[in-house]
Amino acid sequence: EDQVTQSPEALRLQEGESSSLNCSYTVSGLRGLFWYRQDPGKGPEFLFTLYSAGEEKEKERLKATLTKKESFLHITAPKPEDSATYLCAAIGNQFYFGTGTSLTVIP
Amino acid sequence: NAGVTQTPKFRVLKTGQSMTLLCAQDMNHEYMYWYRQDPGMGLRLIHYSVGEGTTAKGEVPDGYNVSRLKKQNFLLGLESAAPSQTSVYFCASSLGIGRINSPLHFGNGTRLTVT
């Protein structure tokens, strides 16, 4: 069964405390993986697309990486404005979404 | 450039009532989707469309109908609302599944409560 699992479900960090979010997937015919950010009361906002193992993408304090079984979203020296839910979605014959990691960054 | 626009933002229905959620996109995308998002369940696909005049069932289509009469619009209908349909509904669009640089673009959602 194609599925995507994200961990942890929730993460609290002190401002400046770096960490990583995990997205593991079992999707046949994987064509890529997306990362999204979702703020309360808003729709998911696109962050990155990764297409092949070994690929990395960066945007400000965020860096996404991809292996054959999982993807990581690394957050370096986070700030309170990075607080949000982060979703990943694997692309097979459809989009398979994880349930997200709720990140809270405490000043 | 508005992207994906959903109306209404909030709605409360009584069991058995009907309503239509509206979605419009101005990016000339071929594909459009309706998802529902529930706590602990993530985003689940209700119906989708690969072009004007086409619709297809997703993961959780029961109790919903859709129409795509114009390329830029995708409508989601609830004929007889049930409390189990209380959720946040998101519309999204994309150039196509798996195409390079073709992520889903989401609207800001409709929060529906059925009492």
pLDDT tens for residues B4-17? Answer: 999 999 999 999 99
CA distance B16 to chain A (A): 26
Q: Which of B98, B105, B109 sits opposite A46 (nearest CB)?
A: B105
pLDDT digits (tens, 9 = 90+) for B23-77: 999 999 999 999 999 988 889 999 999 999 999 999 999 999 999 999 999 999 9
Predicted local confidence at residue B37, as pLDDT: 97
Report d(CA A103, CA A41) in Å as an integer: 15
Angle at A34 between CA A33 and CA A40, to 5 degrees: 150
> pLDDT band at B19, cuts 50/70/90?
very high
Does an H or E element contain A19, and which?
strand A19-26
What per-residue confidence (pLDDT) applies to B99? 59
Spatial separation of the C-alpha atoms in residues A95 and B7, rounded to whole Å? 24
Task: Examine residue B8 and say whether the peptide bond preceding it is cis (omega within 30 degrees of 0).
Answer: yes
User: What does the pLDDT read at residue B14?
Assistant: 97
Q: In the prediction, which pLDDT does A93 show?
A: 80
User: How sure is the predictor about B114, in pLDDT bands with cuts at 50, 70 and 90?
Assistant: very high
Sign of CA dihedral A81, A82, A84, A88: positive
Nearest-CA distance from B31 to chain A in Å? 12
Strands ordered across the beta sheet of B73-78 = B4-7, B19-25, B73-78, B64-67
Digit-coded pLDDT (tens) for B73-111:
999 999 999 999 999 999 999 987 655 558 899 999 999
Contacts of B109 in chain A (CB under 8 A): 41-43
Cβ <8 Å between B58 and A100: no
Give dist(CA A6, CA A72) in Å, integer. 10
| Residue numbers in chain A where pLDDT is lower than 50 | none
